[in-house]
Amino acid sequence: MIVNQTEAEERQYLGTIVSRLKKAIRLLDNKISTTHHEVIEAKKYVWDNMAGLDPAERAANRVEISLTIDHGEKAVDKQKRLRKLVEAPYFGRVDFVPDGRAERDAYYIGVYAFNEEDSQENLIYDWRAPIASMFYDFNVGEASYSAPAGMIEGEIGLKRQFKIKDQVMEYMIESSMNINDEVLQKELSQTSDEKMRNIVATIQKEQNVIIRNEYSHELIIQGVAGSGKTSVALHRVAFLLYRFKGTLTSDNIFIISPNKVFANYISNVLPELGEENIVQFGFEELAARELEGVFEFQTFNEQVTELTDSRNEPLIERIKYKATMDFVHELDRFAAHIRENDFTPVELIIEDTRIGKADIIRAYQAAGNVPIKQKLEKTATVIAGSARDENGGRLRPAAVKKIKTDIKRMFKSLNLLAIYKDFYHFIGKPELLKLKKARMLEFSDVFPLVYLKILVEGAKSFDSVKHLLVDEMQDYTPVQYAVLSLLFTCKKTVLGDSNQSVNPYSSSSITEIQKVFPKADTVELLKSYRSTIEIINFARQINPNSKIVPIERHGLLPRIKKSESWAGELTDVKQAITEFLDSDHRSLGIVCKTQAQAKRIYGEITDIHKDIYLLDFSSDQFHEGIMVTSCHMAKGLEFEHVIVPFVDVSNYMTKMDRSLLYIACTRAMHTLTLTFHGEQSSFVSSIGA
Ligand SMILES: Nc1ncnc2c1ncn2[C@@H]1O[C@H](COP(=O)(O)OP(=O)(O)OP(=O)(O)O)[C@@H](O)[C@H]1O
């Protein structure tokens, strides 16, 4: 039977569901306050009768109290979800009839599931439930989904999308086709709140495949700017937490993200989907953990700033050399070489016990292909274990300790920096190592050194992590991935865009990354959801390599404003800010090539409005309002309106500048303004014409 056929019936049904949700919330209210009372009473009982209770009774009472608290907490969590759900209970409906059955059932799909405790009727299905996958994957007609019992095939008779806000249905769309473009358009053209939002109601088919992929050990997603990579990756995390409930929790997932502002920007999404937020850290924190404060190092941001400030050919050469897979192979070859050749055994005489050189060689070879320090320790343990004193007894602890020290000394050097320097002599390129100062590394040396350290000393891997998510993959080199593969043996989702590198001298494409993870599955996303067609067409001319395809959403043409002087350009920037303030838009990004330029503009415009923020690498908040920042910092973020100043020929000139300008322009959702004085950059001059 077809239920709720007409819009009027749907509106009525929504009213019923809202009432039933409200009733469930009230019931939970009672449950929570009863539990609260029970806990207080139970604690009071234990306290009052402390003297009379034996230890077993006290323990049993404590267990009882903690179980009651646990029930109470679960009820509070459930209530929190229902309170959210009651505002917009569902966004989709599919009517499905499995093969061999006559009756079709209607399945309403929402951000969470809702089933009434007394009837146990499933009134709303979680978007991650197996049956909900059909909403994203199929049109009206033949359909199937993978249930725990196997593949269920059948037919979808009806598919609807709803926009419900504050318990009221704003619209309802019959969508015999894919997730309806009209709904997607409405979602995308809305003014956005300060942070990234969930996209459950309009997940696209190609995105759903990624979100629900349970099998890939490594999944690499190359997606053009605005294709939803980050959104999809976060929804994938939410899906995996749902699918593997019981074995996977948010504590088992790590996200490597580019900076704290980005971490803050995406921090809404998982809680909106009812999941806990997840630990995020940067590659530099990882390096600091591995180098344990023994070395200081330049940050990636400082390296990028050094490269954007001036062209330093030897520096570029050093960076480029260390950004290849061949370099990782050279490090491997060197580590194998020193393991073979830098160990020089000699006969040992410890407290009248003679240990022959041949025995030491044998033990060293038998210790296998493990990190060098561990190999030496294993060798010493075997030698000490088999050595006997003159009475045939085992050696005393002091003698064992001496053997360990002496065997370590047989290795040429275990000093990391000395070994790293030796590496460059080994490959015949000593000029490729340049310290910033004593024990202070250039950024391009940080991960080679960490990698070598792991090969020499071993590492404590992150065993509790069951899924690792790496965003902005293009900014990390093969040696960084090689480090990740040694530290994290878990499943990985790696995402990025090779056209959005802030440092083209060390950027990695999907092909490079696959060399580290040869069994990885790869996916490409080409459709961009963020920006209007006009902005995408503009950006595509800046970077013709990008395969970016816009979705059908129109807006104003990007504007390029020319001035004769800096004062004139500043007036243009201020004018664009005023236009933004007069519009409905809520976020404006002023994106400069460098942080120094961002600081300069910021200094000139703070009097226009009270809420203007300068984002730099020490910032940790994404704000609603006006943000001034660099291209590097803006990566991964988006703004409704974007102003890109200083688009003159001397500022945007190199390959690296082109990449930065592309990043800046693709941050814009609805409108884009470029300003310059003097001669305009050749990257945009032909577009102007
Ligand atoms: N299926 C979708 N439905 C609605 N909005 C979507 C969808 N996919 C992506 N978006 C929106 O498109 C914008 C870009 O998404 P996101 O930031 O995840 O893309 P990205 O590929 O990580 O971008 P970039 O690499 O440029 O930083 C966001 O506003 C996001 O909400």
Same domain? For 35 and 168 the reply is yes
Same domain? For 359 and 249 the reply is no
Give the model's pLDDT for residue 108.
97
Residue 352 has pLDDT above 50, yes or no: yes
> Is 223 annotated among the ligand-binding residues?
yes
Same domain? For 365 and 257 the reply is no
* Whole-angstrom distance, CA of residue 396 vs CA of residue 376: 20
* 662 domain residue, yes or no: yes
Same domain? For 56 and 160 the reply is yes
Answer with the residue of higher pLDDT: 359 or 30. 359
Closest CA to ligand 1's atom 13: 530
Of 130, 164, 191, which residue is a domain's last? 191
Q: How far is CA 519 from CA 237, 442, 511, in A?
A: 21, 32, 12
Same domain? For 550 and 580 the reply is yes
pLDDT band at 689 (very low <50, low <70, confident <90, very high): very low
- Provide, for the chain, the percentages of residues in helix, strand and coil under a 3-state DSSP scheme, each rounded to the nearest 5: 50, 20, 30
* 299 domain residue, yes or no: no
pLDDT band at 193 (very low <50, low <70, confident <90, very high): low
Q: Which of 64-73, 176-185, 542-551 has the lowest mean pLDDT?
A: 176-185
Q: What is the ipTM of this complex?
A: 0.99
* Whole-angstrom distance, CA of residue 83 vs CA of residue 546: 43
* Whole-angstrom distance, CA of residue 239 vs CA of residue 269: 12
**Cα of 211 to ligand 1 centre, how many Å?**
14
Give the model's pLDDT for residue 611.
86
What's the 3-state SS for 624-648? CEEEEEEHHHHCCCCEEEEEECCCE
Helix (H, G, I), strand (E, B) or coil at 471: coil
Q: Which atom of ligand 1 is nearest to the CA of 666?
A: 26
Place of tokens 């995105």: 207
* Whole-angstrom distance, CA of residue 331 vs CA of residue 321: 12
For residue range 60-113, what is the model confidence (pLDDT) as tens digits? Answer: 888 888 888 888 888 898 899 999 999 999 999 999 999 988 888 999 999 999
Residue 177 has pLDDT above 60, yes or no: no
Same domain? For 514 and 543 the reply is no
Of 513, 528, 543, which residue is a domain's last? 528
* 430 domain residue, yes or no: no
Residue 398, both tokens: 């002091």
> Is 366 annotated among the ligand-binding residues?
no
CATH code of the domain in which 478 resides: 3.40.50.300
Report whether residue 229 contacts ligand 1, using a CB cutoff of 6 Å. yes
Give the model's pLDDT for residue 688.
53
* 336 domain residue, yes or no: no
Helix (H, G, I), strand (E, B) or coil at 386: helix
Q: What is the mean pLDDT of residues 192-214?
A: 89
Across 69-73, 346-350, 557-561, which has the greatest mean pLDDT? 557-561
* 550 domain residue, yes or no: yes
Percent of the chain topping pLDDT 70: 98
Report whether residue 280 contacts ligand 1, using a CB cutoff of 6 Å. no
Q: Which atom of ligand 1 is nearest to the CA of 207?
A: 1
Closest CA to ligand 1's atom 14: 226
Same domain? For 517 and 577 the reply is no
Residue 209 has pLDDT above 50, yes or no: yes
Q: DSSP for 26-37, please give it.
A: HHHHHHHHHHHH
Residue-number span of the structural domain to which 242 is assigned: 206-291+463-528
Report whether residue 521 contacts ligand 1, using a CB cutoff of 6 Å. no
* Whole-angstrom distance, CA of residue 588 vs CA of residue 625: 6
Q: How many Cβ atoms are within 10 Å of 457's Cβ, its own excluded?
A: 14
> Is 227 annotated among the ligand-binding residues?
yes
Across 36-50, 324-338, 499-513, which has the greatest mean pLDDT? 324-338
Give the model's pLDDT for residue 191.
65
* Whole-angstrom distance, CA of residue 392 vs CA of residue 319: 58
Same domain? For 587 and 554 the reply is yes
pLDDT band at 318 (very low <50, low <70, confident <90, very high): very high
Q: Which atom of ligand 1 is nearest to the CA of 233?
A: 18
Report whether residue 231 contacts ligand 1, using a CB cutoff of 6 Å. yes
Same domain? For 399 and 543 the reply is no
Under 8 Å between Cβ of 114 and 276? no
Q: Which atom of ligand 1 is nearest to the CA of 495?
A: 22
Of 125, 156, 191, which residue is a domain's last? 191
**Cα of 673 to ligand 1 centre, how many Å?**
21
* 182 domain residue, yes or no: yes
Same domain? For 88 and 13 the reply is yes
Report whether residue 207 contacts ligand 1, using a CB cutoff of 6 Å. yes
Closest CA to ligand 1's atom 16: 228
Q: What is the mean pLDDT of residues 311-322?
A: 91
- Collect all residues with Cβ–Cβ distance below 8 Å to 5 and sequence separation of at least 6: none
Q: Which of 10-24, 44-58, 206-220, 634-648 has the lowest mean pLDDT?
A: 44-58
Sign of CA dihedral 595, 597, 598, 600: positive
* 671 domain residue, yes or no: yes
CA 244 to chain centre: 19
Q: How many Cβ atoms are within 10 Å of 626's Cβ, its own excluded?
A: 25
Same domain? For 505 and 555 the reply is no
* Whole-angstrom distance, CA of residue 592 vs CA of residue 661: 9
Count of the separate structural domains present in the chain? 4
Which residue intervals of 518-635 are DSSP H helices?
A: 533-542, 566-582, 595-605, 631-634
Residue 533, both tokens: 């067609």
Q: Which atom of ligand 1 is nearest to the CA of 496?
A: 25
* 372 domain residue, yes or no: yes
Give the model's pLDDT for residue 19.
95
Same domain? For 217 and 122 the reply is no
Report whether residue 471 contacts ligand 1, using a CB cutoff of 6 Å. no
